[in-house]
Each structure stands twice: as structure tokens, then as C-alpha cells.
Amino acid sequence: MSEALLTTGAGVTTPAPGGRLFWRRLRAQRAVTAAAAVFALLVLVALAAPLLTALEGQNPNAYHPALVDSASGGVPIGSFGGISGEHWLGVEPQTGRDLFARIVYGARVSLGVAFVATLIQVALGVGLGLFAALGGRWADQIVSRVTDVAAALPMLVITLGLLAVAPASIPRPVLITLIIAGLGWFGTSKIVRAGALSLKTLDHVSAARLSGWGTWAIARRELLPALAAPVITYAVLLVPSNVVAEAALSFLGVGIKPPTPSWGQMLTDANTWYQAAPTYLLLPAGLLFITVLSLTMIGEGVRTALDPRAASRLRVGTRNQNKPTGPIESLEEKAS
Amino acid sequence: MTPVPAGAPLVEVTGLHISFGDVRAVDGLSFTLQPGAALGVVGESGSGKSASAYALLGLHRGTGARVSGTIRVAGIDVNAASDAELRSLRGGLAAMVFQDPLSSLDPYYTIGDQIAEVYRVHKGGSRRAARARAITVLDRVGIPDAARKSRSRPHEFSGGMRQRALIAMALACEPRLLIADEPTTALDVTVQAQILDLLHDLRRDEGLGLLLVTHDVGVAAESVDEVLVMRAGREVERGPVGPVLASPREPYTKALLSAVPRLSPALPSVTPGALPRTPFAPEGGSSSNAGRAEDPAHPGADRGAGNGATSHARSAAVPSPRRLPGRGGVGEASAAGGDVVIEAVGLSKSFGRGRAAFDAVDGVDLHVRRGETLGIVGESGSGKTTLGRMLVGLLEPSAGHVTRSGDVQMVFQDPVSSLNPRRSIGESVADPLRAAGERDDTRIRARVAELLARVGLDPDRYDGYPHEFSGGQRQRVGIARALAAEPKLIVCDEPVSALDVTTQAQVTALLAELQRELGLALVFVAHDLAVVRQVSDRVAVMRRGRIVEEGEVDVVYGAPKDPYTRQLLAAVPSLDPALAAVRRAARREEAHVAAA
Amino acid sequence: MNGFTGFLLRRIAGAVLVLLALSVVVYAVFYVAPGNVAQIVCGERCSPQQVALVHDKLGLGDPLYLQYGHFIQGIFAGRDFSSGTGVVHCSAPCLGQSYRTDEQVTDLIFGKLPVTGSLVIGAFALWLLIGVGTGVLSAWKRGGVVERLLTWLTLAGTSTPVFVIGLLLIIVLCSTLQWLPFPQYVPFTDNPEQWFWGLLLPWFSLALIESAKYARLTRSSMLETLAEDHVRTFRAYGLTERAIVGRHALRGAVAPVIALSALDAGTMFGSAVLTETLFGIPGIGRQLVESVRTVDLPVVVGVVLTTGFFVVLANAVADVLYATADRRVVLS
């Protein structure tokens, strides 16, 4: 699983550029603009899935046994996996279900799960991170221990365990979303905690305390605005990581179950068909790659646009004034 | 290596221009330095002094900075030299000592190995010989047990020891020129004195040429023969250090010198050993003016000259409750409890637990009365900042208690981090008002405008953001924010130490003026003894969490009782080179006595 | 180094606590969940009597805390199991017996560890080599075409899920070009050569993705170190760029990278399941998938604890490595 590289609160003490400058810096990166366009197209396809399949005149779950060669075990009849005017991308081996329809509906599941999971992760991470940083020593201890345990739980391992015992009444996409979110919040909480702790030592936060603001007013007025940049940067990179997580679970056969289509789940079957029906493999694999790549590029672009140090990294004698806070935090800082 | 013709200058710089992008850092600078001589380059931040020093070793090469003009160091034309020639110059003929000794050494290697590596680059030879050389130079710079200490890594050394180690590295290849870029700025005043003494001895014994870059006129006065005052990339004034500091020709030099806070305006010539006990003022300290008379040694440091703001600063920077109408002498008031704004009893703070625990503040008693300024002075690690934070309530004391008779605010050290960069300065000032529940924007704006005007800022700049303001202006915003809460007491934690000297004087003047008009009590926490003297009525000297001496400024500075106070006072650089030499001798004497 | 001993002791205590918490979580997950474990273990066609027998034999009637207590006792003191004919002793550390096969969990895991270990070690060596090499190269040649190219390649690398790249590699290298044999696991002790060729592709698939991440990490770490003050010092003392990069920058830059890689190698014991499934390697991850499917609780707990152990161990190793490399870091 490509766990997105962590960035801790390294940049939180320096102001990030304001909104307009941020957009300008983001748009100045041509590759990022291109990636954003590709990704927007993918989202559009996912949203318009019913429309597109209606246009094609197919249904993602309809079997077409006539279109596969039962003698060879179900290889689609026709060239390139049975591509035709009716079936724009051919059909699935064995079942003959329409590939285009499954791909566009699969986009809904893959992207939807990733997005919602990211939102939950960020909400949990920000809440728990602030709680750890501001709630006193015990709060910090508890959150840190829970984080340790959650981090030591290999995500796939615990997902396998949970899925095996979760009640069947919960729809699989919801369950997968919750699992991914529940096991992936601690990156955000680490960033928020480290950022809040270092911001807390700043004089303007002390001044706010002396002005008479309470802890949560300070969190809202002084900390959160400063934490927005690192959290957004990290969150944008969480989306591709969640896309991969869902695909991995589905690939292992414990994620999205047929007949609901998802790209990762399509890959599972494709594994055995790559010689006879290569399009069946290449379509979901390629789309996964493009999705993750475009999201990663957007994430990188956002990071660059928000990074106050972006332009001034390589001057002689630039002092590195951030002394390492702890072994792992500083390691992760370097990953930025 | 290129031989230097006899009689040729060691350094010869002609028409030096350096620019970084659109910024002209150095703009037509020329100077020479003879072998064995010492030149001090003095200037405020942004004057181009460090950039000039870096250019001597060709350190701008490959960084994108544009350098023009000619630079000859030990016979090498730095701008035209090949990379190999430049490398032989760097460290071999001219060595550099940097400001921050911790980050300037590689944390992964031992001190001895780093010195040996530099030695072998220039002189070749075996590893063993290089190690032996490292131990020799470490010993030379006064590191005790050099053979064992050479196997330590930088973080195992104290700040002063690290700077000694860096100087040892500079000495390793017997260079002819030492370039020191703010070599003592990161150090405490007593350590600074030791390092300056070391540089002085090295010059005398090894015949080294010295180029000392500093913002501190006193440091230059202690160490160099000739001084070059820079401003905005240009030379303002150059000449022998004594005459320039005593009778500067240029208005800027005059302003600069008059802004430098003095430890004592009148320092009669002293004999070694007796120095610290010499009273600065008539006995009893009854006259505040006597202690602040003009320094006969510096007729040029005339307060009437220079720019208006600084001269105003000078006279205003001597707040005294005795000048307030209706107030008696300090001696009478000390017994009266009604006027006490803040009182701390047995205040302690310890950090860490178990064996790692240490007491940052250890049983401090103090009180401050209305309209009075208490100076708290101490070196790094003395606990003065922790004490200040406990006084305002930002830190909970581990033991003891603080009684406050009204709101208490703080002015912070760092003009950058003390204001939220995402909030307009007007909103920052309004912060205490909003926290108190004020909702009416018109009233808030009116009050903030009033406060901004009060601290000498344009009231219309409510919507400006901190980055649009200079350091001194930001400190003014911080003061306005503190005033917004209508406090009885303001604790100022090193409020001017991040500012240039002329700005320093203006900010301390503002504080004094506010105090006079509003009857504020001030606690002024600082490491700079001279600044504390200028602003305080009473002073407390802190060391290792305790107050070692406390009393009227004139008494403490004039007749210090505690040996540590004496040591601190003796370490402060003097603006008079002749006096500096005398005090250096005194320090050496004291060190001998202490060693015996 | 008194502080160091204390640091180690605290680390170990913390690690034990985390592992205990892990086992509690796994137990809770499996017991809170609905479903008749005895029925599942016994199989669909078992009679109620048979199910009851299994239920008793596995001690499923005991309250949860008692079952967990037995489990903990087994780890520290060993425990006995009744088999059909007599009593089998399982000596400490005992992680219990498989519900299905009565095999001892520790034996089962020790049987699988060399498989996953082979996979992780090879991939680890490859990714460090490729990743750090690429990172140093692109930091050194910054601003050039090489750097741009490497930036794009690493971006693509981090974006590719392992099962996508693995599938593509199998198709291209094994199926179409037939340059490599299809991946399989042959124990090293049986035939080192087959072991190597059989694992080459899995190693590469894992390493390509990880090395992309490490290239980025090394690069930024190098650039950061090159901007540090002490690099300026050595430049001002006439050292060559080569000596500065080779001796002073590289060490400072690579130390944290090595430390982090130890962490990732530990985590990989748990996340190798994807690679194992894809390439049909019978490692610890596949065992887990199998045991979860059959609700073989002792094996699941055992595997989770084992992989958790590697994560915790790797964490500690990373900290120690980092602290020994950079003594400025305060061990706490």
C-alpha cells in the first residue's frame, strides 16, 4: 500500500500564501493543471455513470452469455475482448457483462469510497490531534498509545479480520469506507498534534492566552488557520492512498464484492484472464494508475503552492532552525 | 601557494559590488588590511557586512549572487582564481569563524576528526599527524584536556567551547587571516569576553590578520585597530577605532553610537582588580542625574546630535518613579504595601522528572510597585524567561505563588512570532478587546486606532499585515496589544534584543514614556546589562534560577556585592578601546586569582 | 550510556504494552462479532452434538476474560491442550493451537516466516540500492534533465499499486517475453538458485514502489543537509564538493533514510499479503487470509501479534539507528 509520505508541522510556523496567491501558484504548474483536468474528467464520468451507460444502452450487471465462448471457458468473442458498437470496451470474460458500464460504475465506487474515507480521516485526525495537543498530558498519552496500536495493526490484516465478522447487513462500500477511515486517521492526527504543539510555543499564541481566550477559542482562532495548509496538503495525498487501499482490499477479495463493480475487484478476476482477454486487465489497471498519478500530482502541486519555503530552499547558509523534535517526527519531516 | 610580496596588504578590496537578484547587498566597497592588523566591520542588519566577508573567500561562487570588483586576499585574486586556488585559500591562508558554533560543525564527526580533515586537505600528511595537530590547536585555544575532548562531538560541548573548537579549526593550517562573522553574537556576555580575549591573544601571538564582522560596536572596540562602519552596502566611515568611536565625523556613526546603551555614563580610569568596585555614581545614588552624566571619554556621543528620535530616546530611556509627580523616594515606598502591583513569594519552577529534573527557577521573591521598572538580568539558562512567564501566568509555578493586583500583560522578544501572520495588526491589537466580549466593530476600530497612535504607529494601518512592518514597528504593535487590556503591569521579555541598536533605543523610549503617562509597572527581562541599566529603577541579577543580587540600579551597577554580578559587569564590552584594554587586563588578573 | 539503557527499557516496556493491546483488539473483534465459531470450525454438516463437542474442546464456553487469560498465560508460562487421546503441552511462548488442524500456532508461524522473510529482505536490499542511489543522483544533478526525469519516474512509481505493477511485470516478463520464470517460492535451503529466480519478480515489484518513495526521501534529505551550516563551514575550509557531499552531506542525509527503511521493512511483514497473493507465495500474509476465512482465531491472533511485533521492533530499531547516527537527538 503506498502510504502517502507524512509531513509533520514543519511549515506551520511560517505563513502560507493567501488564497489568491495559492491559486496562482497552483495554476503556474502546468503538469498539475493537466492532472487536474484528467481527474475532473474521471469525476465527471463517475457522476454521469447512469447517463453514459444509458447512452451506450447497456447495464453493468446484465449477463451476455452469447458474447463469450463457452467452449474455451468464457473468452469474449471478437477482437480486443469483444469491442463493438454495442459494447464500447468489450465484455467481461465468462459472464459477458459490459465492460464500459462496469468501468464507469466502478469509478463511482472507487472514487466515492476514497473521498468519503478521506473526509472522515481528516475529521478524526484533526479532532484527535488537537485533543492530544491541547487536552493535557493524559489526553496526549491516550491518543499517542491508541496511535501506536493502530499503527502496529497492519491495515490489511485488521481489515481481513473485521470483514470476516462484520454483519452482512452493512453494505460493503460503507464498511470498506469506515475501515479505511478508521485505520488511516493517525497520519493527520500526527501532523495536527505536532503542528499544534509547535504553534503553542509561539508568542502570538501566548499573547492570545493573555488576552483571555480559552483553549478551544485559541484552537479555532490561532491554531486551525495555521494548520490548514499542512492538513490540506496531506489530505490531498490521502485520496490516492485510499483509492489504492480500496483497490487492494477488493483485489484480495475482501473488499467490494460482485456484482457491485470496483476497479480493484475487476483486477482480481483479470489476474487469470490476462492472456485471453488483456483489455479486461489493462482497463482497470490503467485507470487506477491514471487516477492515482493525477491525484498524486495534484497533491504535489498543492504542497508546492502552499509551501512557504518553496522558492528559498537552496541558498548558501540558510540555517536549519528547526531542531529535530523526535526521531520519527523529524524523519517524516524530511519526507516532505 | 602564491607568495605574498613583502609590504603588500593581506586583504585588498576595490569597488566590491554584490547583488542577490535585484537586491544590492554591497555597493562599491573598498578597504585594505595589512598583515597582522585587525579591521572591524560594523553595521546594522542588512548593511552588507556579512556578504562582504563571505566574498573574501569566494563563498558566493555558484550561489547565484553577482560579485564584481577586485578582491585580493593573501595575493590571490578571489574573483579570478580557479576552484583549486580558491580551495587552497579557504582555510589554508584565510580561515573563517561563524556565528552559530553548533550548526557550523558536523554533528556526526568528532571535533578532532573535523579539524584533522581540514588540516589534511591543506597540508597532507598522515592521519596521526593531523590528529596530533588537532590536539595542539585545541589546546592552544584553551580547551582543557584537549586530547580527550578531541574525541567529543560538537553537541557535547558548551557554546563557548564550540566556538573555541571552531577557532581551533581556523588555526589548524596556520592561516594569515582570520575572518570572524559575528563570532560572539550567540554567546553569553561572560563567554563573549573570553572568546574576544582569545582572539586578541591569538592575534598578538600568531601575528594573524583579523577581519571582525559585528553589529556590536563594543565588540569591535574591544578587538580591532581599525573600524569600518557600513550602512546599506556602503562605507560610512573608516578609521582607527579610538578616534572613530570617540569623535565620529558622520551623522550616521554618531547616531549609531548614541543609540548604544551604556553600562555607565561615567567610568573613571580604574586600576585592575579594583575595577568592579569602582562606584559609578556618588554614594547613596540619591541623584539620578549624576549617574547618567555625559561620558567624558566620548564627547562625540553627544545626545543633542544624531537624529531627533534617538536623542529623544536617550533622555526618555531613563524612567524613574522619582520623577513622577506626587511620589516620594523609592526608599519610602518600599515598605508601603498598597502600591505593590505584583508580588511573588518563593516562586519555583522545575522541568522534567526524576533524575532529569532541574529547577529553572528556584525560590524567587520579588515585588513591583506602580510606576516602577524592575530589571531582571541574567545569562542564558538563568531562568529569567521562565520567571517572566510565571509572573504573567503563562506558566504555573511548581511552588510559591504570585499575587497580582490587576491585569498583567506581556511584550515578547521575537517580533516575528509574536504576531499572528494571518491576522491584520489591527485585529491583533483588538484581540484582548474581543476576548473581553466587545462586539461593536466601530468602537473596536476607534480604540485600536487610539492605541496605534499611542505607540507611534499610523492609526490608519489597522488592516496592514505583520510582514508589511519592520521589526521595531511590530514590537510597537505588540506593545499596543498589551495596552489594549489596560494592564497594571507589563512584563517585557527581551523586548529589544532582536532589534537593531537604533530601533532598540526608540522602543525602550516608548516603554518609558508609556510608563510615565499611564503609571504602569514594568518588569524588563533582558540579557543585556546596559539596556537593563538604562530602563530600570531596580534590578535583580539572576543566576541558575535564583536572584543573586537585587537593589537600586545605581547601587547594583555601582557597587556590586555578588561576585557573579561583578564578573558580568566586567565582561561587558566597553566602547573605549583604551578602557577595554584595561578591563581585559583586569579579567585576566581575576582569572589568575580564580585559578590560584 | 545510562540514558541509553533507560531508553531501551522504556522502549521495550512500551512495545510489550502495544502488543498486549493488539491482542485485546483482535480478541474483541472476533468475539463481539456474531456467528457461531464452533459451527464454522466444525463445518456445515456437523451435527449439534459434534458442534457442542468442538465448543467444549476449544473452551469457547468460558467467559471472554478467561479465554484471554489462558492465552496470556500460554505466552508467558505455556499451557496444556487436551487432544483426543491425551494432553499436549505447548511451551512458552505459546500462542495456542489452530482450531482447525490442532497444529501449534508458533510452529505454523515459524514455518511461514522464512517465506515472508525472503520476500522482505530481498525487496529491502533492492529498494535501498535503487532508491537511495536515485535520490543521491537527483540531488546532486539538481536542476538538470536527469532530475526532471527522475522526478517523473518516482512520481509514477509511488502512484502504482503493487498488484498493478506486479501483474504487468508478470505479463511482460514471464508471459510475453518469457525472460523470467513464473514466480514461485523454493526454500533457500533446498535450492538457492531457484529461490533467487523465483523471488526476483516479487522483489522487483515491491522494490520499485518503495524505491520511488525512498528516492524522493533521499533527495529532499540531501538537499536539506546541503543547505546546513556545517556544509558551508567545510566549503569555507577548502574541502572539495566531492568530499563535502561524500563525507559530510551523505552521512547526515542517509542516516534518517536508513532508519525509516527499517521501519518500512518491519511494516512490510504485515503488508506483504498483497504481493504474496499476487505471486502465489505461501507466506504469513496468505496464512492470515486463509485463517480469517476459516475463523481460526488462534492463528489470526498469532499472525497479527507476529506482524505487530515486527512493526514495533522496527520502530525501536529505527529510533535507535537514528539516535546513534545523530547524537543530537535526545532519547526520550
pLDDT for the residue numbered B26: 93
- Cβ–Cβ below 8 Å for C288 and A160: yes
- Cβ–Cβ below 8 Å for A156 and C270: yes
Q: What count of other Cβ atoms lies within 10 Å of the Cβ of residue C18?
A: 21
**A323 has a chain B CB within 8 A of its CB:** no
Dist CA C223 CA C62 (whole Å):
60
A84-88, A203-207, B589-593, C72-76: range with highest mean pLDDT:
A203-207
Mark which residues 373-432 of B lie under 8 Å from A by CB.
389, 392-394, 408-410, 412-414, 417-422, 428, 431-432
The shortest CB-CB distance from B100 to any of A15, A203, A319 is to A319
pLDDT for the residue numbered A313: 32
pLDDT tens column, B556-570: 998 999 999 998 998
The secondary structure of B168-182 as a DSSP string is HHHHTT--SEEEEES
The shortest CB-CB distance from B88 to any of C234, C238, C243 is to C238
Which residues in chain B have Cβ-Cβ distances shorter than 8 Å to C252? 106-108
Burial class for C163, CB neighbours closer than 10 Å (0-12, 13-18, 19+): buried
Is the per-residue pLDDT at B551 higher than 90?
yes
Band (B51; pLDDT cuts 50, 70, 90): very high
- State the average pLDDT over residues B184-203: 89
**B88 has a chain A CB within 8 A of its CB:** no
Lowest-pLDDT choice from A236-245, B2-11, C70-79: B2-11
Which residues in chain A have Cβ-Cβ distances shorter than 8 Å to C226? 314
Q: What is the pTM of this model?
A: 0.77
Is the per-residue pLDDT at A150 higher than 70?
yes
- Cβ–Cβ below 8 Å for A154 and C29: no
Q: Of all residues in chain B, what percent carry a pLDDT higher than 70?
A: 85
- Cβ–Cβ below 8 Å for C277 and A165: no
pLDDT for the residue numbered B267: 38
- State the average pLDDT over residues B151-165: 88
- State the average pLDDT over residues C197-222: 86
Dist CA A32 CA C221 (whole Å):
24
To the nearest whole Å, the CA of B491 is away from the closest chain A CA by 11
- Cβ–Cβ below 8 Å for B118 and C326: no
More confident site: B222 or A336: B222
- Cβ–Cβ below 8 Å for C232 and B118: no
DSSP state of C101: T
**A85 has a chain B CB within 8 A of its CB:** no
pLDDT tens column, A264-319: 888 877 767 766 677 777 888 888 888 888 888 888 888 778 765 544 332 222 23
Is the per-residue pLDDT at B359 higher than 50?
yes
DSSP state of B43: -
Q: The domain B330-420+478-561 is classified under which CATH number: 1.10.8.10, 3.90.1010.10, 3.40.50.300, 2.70.98.20?
A: 3.40.50.300
To the nearest whole Å, the CA of A214 is away from the closest chain C CA by 30
- Cβ–Cβ below 8 Å for B417 and A203: yes
- Cβ–Cβ below 8 Å for C235 and B153: no
pLDDT for the residue numbered B6: 60
pLDDT for the residue numbered B489: 94
- State the average pLDDT over residues A4-10: 34
Band (B40; pLDDT cuts 50, 70, 90): very high
Interface test with A, best of C4, C127, C159 (most A CBs within 10 A): C159
User: How far lies C216's CA from each of A2, B42, C150, C224, C251, in Å?
Assistant: 13, 43, 9, 12, 17
- State the average pLDDT over residues A137-156: 78
- State the average pLDDT over residues B589-596: 72
pLDDT for the residue numbered B532: 92
- Cβ–Cβ below 8 Å for B420 and A209: no
Mark which residues 179-218 of C lie under 8 Å from A by CB.
209, 213, 216-217
**B478 has a chain A CB within 8 A of its CB:** yes
Band (C13; pLDDT cuts 50, 70, 90): confident
To the nearest whole Å, the CA of A261 is away from the closest chain C CA by 17
pLDDT tens column, A288-297: 888 888 888 8
Which residues in chain C have Cβ-Cβ distances shorter than 8 Å to A163? 292
pLDDT for the residue numbered B521: 94
Contacts of A118 (CB under 8 A, 6+ apart): A181, A235, A238, A239, A242
B168-182, B323-337, B571-585, C73-87: range with highest mean pLDDT:
B168-182
pLDDT tens column, C150-203: 777 887 777 778 888 888 888 888 877 888 788 888 888 888 888 888 888 899
Interface test with C, best of A155, A160, A296, A313 (most C CBs within 10 A): A160
User: Given a contact as 3+ CB pairs under 8 Å, which chains touch A?
Assistant: B, C
pLDDT tens column, B376-388: 999 888 999 999 9
Q: Of all residues in chain A, what percent carry a pLDDT higher than 90?
A: 14
Which residues in chain A have Cβ-Cβ distances shorter than 8 Å to B108? none
The residue behind cell 567624558 is B296
Please state the domain extents for chain C.
2-95, 106-331
Question: What's the distance, Cα to Cα, between the start and end of chain C in Å?
Answer: 13
Looking at the structure, give the CATH architecture of the domain made up of residues C106-331: Orthogonal Bundle (1.10)
Is the per-residue pLDDT at A336 higher than 60?
no
Please state the domain extents for chain B.
102-175, 330-420+478-561
Average pLDDT of every residue of chain B: 83
pLDDT tens column, B398-456: 999 999 988 999 999 888 889 988 889 999 999 999 998 888 999 999 999 999 999 99
More confident site: C183 or B363: B363
- Cβ–Cβ below 8 Å for C164 and A285: yes
In our burial notation (b when 16+ CB lie closer than 10 A, e otherwise), range B140-172 reads bbbbeebeebbebbbeebebbbbbbbbbbbbbb
B459: three-class secondary structure by DSSP: helix
Which residues in chain A have Cβ-Cβ distances shorter than 8 Å to C30? 161, 165
Return the closest-CA partner of residue B432 out of B492, B489, B496, B487: B487
- State the average pLDDT over residues A32-57: 86
Are the C-beta atoms of residues C252 and C169 closer than 8 Å to each other? no
Q: Which amino acid is at A15?
A: P
Are the C-beta atoms of residues B333 and B327 closer than 8 Å to each other? yes
Dist CA B449 CA B71 (whole Å):
52
Question: Closest residue of C to A296, CA-based?
Answer: C159
Is the per-residue pLDDT at B247 higher than 70?
yes
- Cβ–Cβ below 8 Å for A207 and B59: no
